[in-house]
Structure 1
Amino acid sequence: MRSSDNYTSPFSPERRNFIQKTGLAALAMAFPLPSFSMNFEGVSMGIVVHSYGARWNSKVPSEKYPGFENALQLIKHCHQIGAGGVQVGVNNWTSDFAKKVRDQRENLGMYLEGSIGLPKSKDDIDNFEKEVLASKEAGATILRTVCLSGRRYENFKTEDEFHDFKAKSILSLQLAEPVVRKHKIKLAVENHKDWRAAELVEIIKRMDSEWIGVTLDFGNNYSLLEKSEDVIGLLAPYSFSTHIKDMGVKSYSKGFLLSEVPLGEGIVDLKKGVELCRKYNPNITFNLEMITRDPLEIPCLEEEYWATFDNISGPELAGILKMVREKSFSGELPYTRNLEPEQRLDYEEVNVLASLRYSKSELGLGL
């Protein structure tokens, strides 16, 4: 664990040399790149607001990395560093604010995807519809949502608890579907460390609606003992949108550690994933979710982890643990807990910039 009193760069030597030689972060701030067309075939990768977990609503008094107070500031910054769009929460947007977002987005030539909560009961439908309308006013055609804000193996202690969650999730989607169908905006359910891929496919098929699909996260399901190539293969045919991420893994006593790492440094076959998504949906958007944080613990060798899983075989578990051993991340996984606030903001920005650069040079996303 690194000490903030004796701080050394958390970046690989190659990436550190590149940053030092080019001054990439400073250049990105000083020389905004040109806006991009709305042809998604050639547009640059977008950025999910969670890539700026430290900077979003930050109270750190930083001149270099001032906090983003709203979507307008996020959009402006993402345009400056060369992103093609953003995915951001739309809760409590007024019509006036949505129009400001639309005007800025159109002026910069960027796309917008909203992130929205699902109605839990009929009492929530009116507010849900207001947020859908605000999103549409701002120019969003896709709304990403999740059924669970936490993680399946942490939230649920019994199989009955999970089945209750599943029933409530299906009800929420049934309440949301008539609204998004009415306003012709797509609702994309993320595999958010809640559903294994086949479970989410079952739910999407059950909804049987052209307006309900998937936000395909490339890395989340390692936490549920599924490899990214298998998850992408199952979910790509139903996907409207994506969270592009790369993952680093390492063994620990209770299972394995899982971290988002800059694109190209982890175990996800990003090129194959992008190609497969485009095969099924040529207009799909690719959104970076590079969350700079401490590794997540996946305690798959503990009995409590298995409370809600009855369909994972021994060979599946063995295959994941073998993969972790064979593809263990070179060096230390990213940690932020001992960084000073300014250091964490800097680390976050460099990870985003490195991933954007990789997406353009290696994945062909943008100019």
Structure 2
Amino acid sequence: MDRRDFIQKATVGALALSFPGNLPAFTKEAPMGIVVHSYGSRWNSKVASNKYPGFANAVDLLEHCYKIGAGGMQVVVKDWSADLIKKVRDRREKLGLYVEGSIGVPGKPEDVARFEQEVKSAKEAGMQVLRTVCSSGRRYDAYHSAEAFTELQNKAVASLKLAEPILRKYKMKLAVENHKDWRAPELVDLMKQLNSEWIGVTLDFGNSIALLEEPMEVIQTLVPYVFTTHVKDMGLDEYADGFLLSEVPLGKGILDLPKMFALCRQQNPNVTFNLEMITRDPLEIPCLKDEYWATFSGVPATDLARTLRLVRQHKYASGLPRVSQLDPEGRLAAEENNILACLNYSKNTLKS
């Protein structure tokens, strides 16, 4: 059995051991869930809004996900009290939703106790999968030399090796995201170094465009390791130093979402699809500035040419959406409307 088959069977097997009898429905054909970052304006909001009240904790978000027809959520797990753990578990079971966590990996040995407590909290709340990142920010913003990025890679391996025994102990999956940091082959190399059934990938559908990668090639490269996903569609436009990149409502951007969903399901029948629709101004990807290239070596000029050609051929027709000009209530409304539009597209077109 090769590693690809092993991971897929291990994922199914771990879930089967966690639930008596048949696997729960949410692991098969659940509606799409929601990543907490989709609610950047509403999560712990300081805006007093009657129509869009803020979410103070994971239970508030879970209740809202149920209300709007989402299948579950992915939420930050940090410093949860025993009372919050119980409430999340009870409401998850009552509502029939899945819950995944977002967690930080231990940076050094003295962080392991904290990490174990958060994994334990997630397990007690009914989670099976935890998403993480191993970088401090976007590659082209946070790292300014090849040596700095190599140091990140080495630290990531060390951190995940510290995490792995805890994950194995609690039978929890940890999924590293392609978070505008790792190009897909680099993330595969990381997976191969770790070679653990408990560590895989959070497959983000659109982030890697910022690293000049072709979206479908990213899916095909990383899908053998997929535990969970960040679903999004992307809009593009030009600017002087490179291109602009935005999350846009599903079906309005350039991604072949039906094919991406099919590839993920084919590889891992129990994969979850989690919407990360971040409502914000476009991100500037300064790929025509020298500083952008400081951490890259061996990236062919054809990748840059292909990406810029993609931008010019698929410029967002109505202009990429912006929200910084809106008042707080307007930003809350735009955020909710985008999420509802994505859920509707997912249900009617993606059948998820």
Equivalent residue, structure 1, for 2:76: 89
Paired residue for 1:354, among 307, 325, 341? Answer: 341
Q: 1:95 touches 1:137 (CA, 8 Å); kept in 2?
A: no
Q: What's the CA shift for 1:41?
A: 2.3
Q: 1:56 touches 1:67 (CA, 8 Å); kept in 2?
A: yes
- Pairs within 5 Å for 1:1-367: 38-365=25-352
Instruction: Name the amino acid aligned to 1:120.
Output: G
Q: What's the CA shift for 1:222?
A: 0.3
Deviations 1:30-56 (A, max 9, x none): xxxxxxx63422210000000000000
Distance 1:314 1:228 in 2: 17
Q: 2:26 touches 2:71 (CA, 8 Å); kept in 1?
A: no
Q: What's the CA shift for 1:95?
A: 2.5
Give the 3-state SS of the residue equivalent to 2:28 in structure 1. coil
Structure 1, 159-168 or 283-292: larger mean CA deviation? 159-168
Give the 3-state SS of the residue equivalent to 1:362 in structure 2. helix
Q: 2:241 touches 2:289 (CA, 8 Å); kept in 1?
A: yes
Distance 1:92 1:227 in 2: 38
Deviations 1:239-288 (A, max 9, x none): 00000000000011100000000000001110000000011100000000
Distance 2:241 2:156 in 1: 30
Q: What's the CA shift for 1:235?
A: 0.6
Q: 1:186 touches 1:212 (CA, 8 Å); kept in 2?
A: yes
Distance 2:61 2:77 in 1: 13
Instruction: Name the amino acid aligned to 2:80.
Output: W
Deviations 1:307-332 (A, max 9, x none): 00012101111011001100111112
Distance 1:169 1:312 in 2: 22
Instruction: Please list every run of at least 4 consecutive aligned residues from structure 1 whose deviation after the TM superposition is greater than 2 angstroms.
Output: 37-41
Gaps of 5+ in 1: 1-36
Note the aligned Cα RMSD (angstroms).
0.8
Q: 1:295 touches 1:333 (CA, 8 Å); kept in 2?
A: yes
Deviations 1:289-313 (A, max 9, x none): 0000010000000000000001210
Deviations 1:189-212 (A, max 9, x none): 000011000000000111010000
Distance 2:176 2:161 in 1: 13
Q: What's the CA shift for 1:160?
A: 0.7
Distance 1:232 1:172 in 2: 25
Instruction: Name the amino acid aligned to 2:264.
Output: C
Distance 2:270 2:38 in 1: 23
Deviations 1:49-108 (A, max 9, x none): 000000001111100001100000000001000000000000001222111100001100
Distance 2:188 2:90 in 1: 36
Q: 1:196 touches 1:221 (CA, 8 Å); kept in 2?
A: yes
Instruction: Name the amino acid aligned to 1:220.
Output: N
Q: 1:38 touches 1:111 (CA, 8 Å); kept in 2?
A: no
Instruction: Name the amino acid aligned to 2:69.
Output: G
Give the 3-state SS of the residue equivalent to 1:119 in structure 2. coil
Give the 3-state SS of the residue equivalent to 1:242 in structure 2. strand
Report how many residues are paired.
329
Gaps of 5+ in 2: 1-23
Q: 1:262 touches 1:351 (CA, 8 Å); kept in 2?
A: yes
TM-score normalised to structure 2 length = 0.92
Distance 2:109 2:278 in 1: 34
Distance 2:86 2:100 in 1: 15
Deviations 1:166-203 (A, max 9, x none): 11111100000010011100000000011000000000
Distance 1:149 1:243 in 2: 19
Instruction: Name the amino acid aligned to 2:275.
Output: L
TM-score normalised to structure 1 length = 0.89
